[in-house]
Every structure is written in C-alpha cells, then in structure tokens.
Amino acid sequence: MRYLEPTGNPARAHLAALEKELLMPNGLLLRYAHRDDLGLPKVCFLACSFWYAEALACVGRIDDACKTLEQAMQCSNHLGLFSEDADFSYGQWGNFPQTYSHVGFMNAVYRIANKRELPIFLE
C-alpha cells in the first residue's frame, strides 16, 4: 500500500512483529491470535497469508515470498479455488469460494513476478 518504504527499517520491523505474533509453523499467517467464540484460531486467513507473501516480496525477501505463496496455494481445492480460512490439518473453512483470498493470491503473484522481472500477461 506504500505507507512504508519497503527497504526501510519500519517495514522490516513490522514484518518481524507480524511473524512473531501471527506466523503459524506451516508458514501461513493467522488473522489474529487471541481467543474468540470458537477458541484459539487453528486455521489461517488466506488473504493475510497472500498479503504476507506480497509484503515479503516488497521488502526483497523473494525466496520467502515464493515459499509462502506455494504453501498457501496448497490450500486450494482440486479446481484451484480458495476458501476464506484454511489449514493443512483442518482443510478449508469459512466462505467458499472467497474473493478476498483470490484477489490476495493474484496480488502476491503479480508482486513476486514483478520483483523477479518476469513477464506478466494481462489480456
């Protein structure tokens, strides 16, 4: 969103704080880590995971961005569609298909391709 300079310390510190608080062992990101009416979160919010991949690319952590993107992509169904929340153990949760997840996926792919200077074909 360009509210932080991607190469600056505030952007890197912001990512480090998110990783400390919200990063799951499987490499995906929770929306929040506090208890709600369903208990502690057990599934990631895919839009956040795709946003995280995009943010990693923005700060130059391209390999980490690709790894995160690949992990999140494994949460799609056999048609490549994403739900709102997902996890490898619990499957897909929430609204399905979820536009937020798909837009996040496209933005992450675009940012990583742009950083790698790969051609992006838009028709």
Is 122's pLDDT higher than 60? no
Question: Structure pTM?
Answer: 0.86
- Region 117-121: what's the mean pLDDT? 69
Measure Cα distances from 45 to 4, 29, 32, 76, 89 in Å: 23, 7, 9, 13, 14
Is 79's pLDDT higher than 60? yes
Is 104's pLDDT higher than 70? yes
Helix residue ranges, H only, the chain: 9-22, 46-58, 62-73, 99-115
pLDDT value of residue 112: 94
CA dist 98 and 81 (Å) reads 8
Q: What is the pLDDT of residues 13-34, one digit of tens each?
A: 989 999 999 998 888 888 888 8
What percentage of the chain carries pLDDT values higher than 90?
Answer: 41
Q: What is the pLDDT of residues 58-75, one digit of tens each?
A: 999 999 999 999 999 999
pLDDT value of residue 103: 94
Ordered by start, the domain boundaries in the chain are: 9-115
